[in-house]
Each structure stands twice: as structure tokens, then as C-alpha cells.
Amino acid sequence: MRVAIIGGTGKEGFGLAMRWARAGVDIIIGSRDAQRAQDAAGKANAAVGAPRVTGMLNPAAAAEADIVLISVPFEGHRAMVADLKDAMAGKVLVDITVPVAFGGVPAVVPVPEGSAAEAAQKLLGPRTPVVAAFQTIPAHLLADAEKPLEGDVFICGDDAQAKARVVELVQQIGTRAIDCGPLSQTHTLERMTVLLLYLNRRLKRRSLTYRLVGL
Ligand SMILES: NC(=O)c1ccc[n+]([C@@H]2O[C@H](COP(=O)([O-])OP(=O)(O)OC[C@H]3O[C@@H](n4cnc5c(N)ncnc54)[C@H](OP(=O)(O)O)[C@@H]3O)[C@@H](O)[C@H]2O)c1
């Protein structure tokens, strides 16, 4: 299985690339710039000590992979999903986007479709099931690749098979996936993330995350 990470040169995507590469998953880092993608792949391979990561332009990365994860800022999300629509047909899209406005108290930016993941699903249609995941996992915790992740990964989606594949990917980086129901629940994950951002700021922390107890 190959996983493409669109925007994998950035903070969250690169952390996920490193975690999966360490776990033996083949990764393609996508970028708007081929050289940036290759440089990021080289850095990941050097850190992992094995040639598990390649770098390509985003459309080629999406076309080559079995599963595509989009990790670009909300501002670029809609256009990127639309650009990659054909390349992603028949594949699963993992959407980690949080539409957030920083400033005073962090707030979710309203999305007409309900959430960023639902906007992606509407653009892509049924040929590409979308699974929302990883919203509440901060990038710097992923980057500390030697340290086990404590946070649960909450996932939402309408396609059971697609969700099962994402559960497997979550388990490969050594943490738990909690199925939170249909894609229409994603707005809750977005709000949970914004709450974390606020609490991190108020309590002067960086690493707050969620883990369910009592399971
Ligand atoms: N950072 C976190 O802790 C965190 C946690 C959970 C979820 N998320 C979500 O993960 C996504 C990525 O976050 P991040 O912090 O990794 O972002 P980032 O580092 O600012 O950006 C990620 C990558 O996206 C590409 N990019 C930037 N602007 C773009 C645009 N307008 N259109 C297309 N591509 C663009 C860039 O890659 P190239 O220039 O190489 O193309 C960049 O390296 C966001 O949707 C965020 O809400 C982040």
C-alpha cells in the first residue's frame, strides 16, 4: 500500500510521513514544487534509514498512491481537492483539514457543506470516499517520532471499507482510532481541535490532545 500526502512538505503531513515510513509504509510526499517534495523525501529517508519515501508533484503523488491524505491549509483545500479529483477516483481521501481562524479566541471558519471533509466529499462524489481523521493530533507530537503518540485519532466517514483502511493506518503508527460515525460528524472534530488550540494557549501548553478513558 502506498500513501500519498498532499502538502507532505508541511508540518502535519511531514510528521505523518515520518511516522508511517518508520512503520514500514511506502509514502509519497506531494508538493506544488517537485524539488521541495524530493528534498522532504530525502530528509525523511535519512531520518528513517530506509528508502521508503519518494517526492513528487501533488497530481503525480495522488495518481501513484492507493490512499491519499490531504494536508494543506484550509485556504488551499478546496482548490487542491478539485485539482486532484480525477487522480483520486477509486481511492480513499483522508482529510485532516481544520478550518480555523486564529486571532482572539480560535474559531472554526464556517464551511457551507458542514465541514472541510464534507466539502471535499461533495466535490469528489461517490467514487472517492472521504474519511476525516487526525484533526486533534498536533504536528509537533508527530515530529517527535521516537515518542509514542498518546492521543486517540477520531475518525468520521460514510464508507465502512474506507474507514477500516484508515483504522489500519492509524494503528500502524501505534495509536487508537475511534470511529465517531458519519462524515457529518466532522464539524465536531473541527470544534474539538479549536478547543484544544484555545486550551493550549490558556494553560500555556503545546501538547494537549484527547484520549478516551473508560473504553
Ligand atoms: N499543524 C498542526 O498541528 C495540525 C494538526 C491537525 C490538523 N492540521 C491540518 O493539517 C493541514 C496542514 O497543516 P500544516 O500545519 O502542516 O500546514 P502548513 O505546514 O502550513 O502547510 C502544509 C503544506 O501545504 C502546502 N500549501 C501551503 N499553502 C497552500 C495552498 N494555498 N494551496 C496548496 N498547498 C498549500 C505547502 O506545501 P508546498 O508548498 O510544498 O506545496 C505546505 O508545506 C491543515 O489543513 C491543518 O488544519 C494541522
> Checking DSSP bridges between strand 107-108 and strand 100-101, what pairing results, if any?
antiparallel
In sequence order, what E strands does 129-206 have? 130-132, 153-157, 177-179
What the chain holds in terms of domains, given with CATH numbers, is 2-202 (3.40.50.720)
- Residue 37 CA, closest ligand 1 atom number: 40
Residue nearest to atom 42 of ligand 1 (CA): 10
Q: Which phi and psi (to 5°) does residue 41 adopt?
A: -65, -45
Q: Rg of the Cα trace of the chain?
A: 16
- Residue 11 CA, closest ligand 1 atom number: 16
Measure 70 CA to ligand 1 centroid, in angstroms.
9
User: How confident is the model at residue 104, as a pLDDT?
Assistant: 86
Measure 184 CA to ligand 1 centroid, in angstroms.
23
Q: Are 75 and 51 in contact (CB under 8 A)?
A: no
The reply to whether ligand 1 has any atom less than 6 angstroms from the CB of 54 is no
Give the mutation target among 6, 11, 94, 98 for probing the ligand 1 site: most ligand atoms within 8 A of CB. Answer: 11
Distances (CA, A) of 10 to 5, 32, 91: 10, 11, 22
The reply to whether ligand 1 has any atom less than 6 angstroms from the CB of 114 is no
Can you tell me whether residue 56 is helix, strand or coil?
strand
Residue nearest to atom 22 of ligand 1 (CA): 10
- Rounded to 5°, the CA angle 76-82-84 comes to 95
User: Which among 95, 83, 69, 71 is positioned nearest to 7, based on CA atoms?
Assistant: 71
Measure 215 CA to ligand 1 centroid, in angstroms.
32
Measure 6 CA to ligand 1 centroid, in angstroms.
9
Residue nearest to atom 43 of ligand 1 (CA): 10
- Per-residue pLDDT 10s for the chain (215 aa) are 999 999 999 999 999 999 999 999 999 999 999 999 999 999 999 999 999 999 999 999 999 999 999 999 999 999 999 999 999 999 999 999 999 998 889 999 999 999 999 999 999 999 999 999 999 999 999 999 889 999 999 999 999 999 999 999 999 999 999 999 999 999 999 999 999 999 999 999 999 999 999 99
Can you tell me whether residue 4 is helix, strand or coil?
strand
Say which DSSP state 47 is in: H
The reply to whether ligand 1 has any atom less than 6 angstroms from the CB of 78 is no
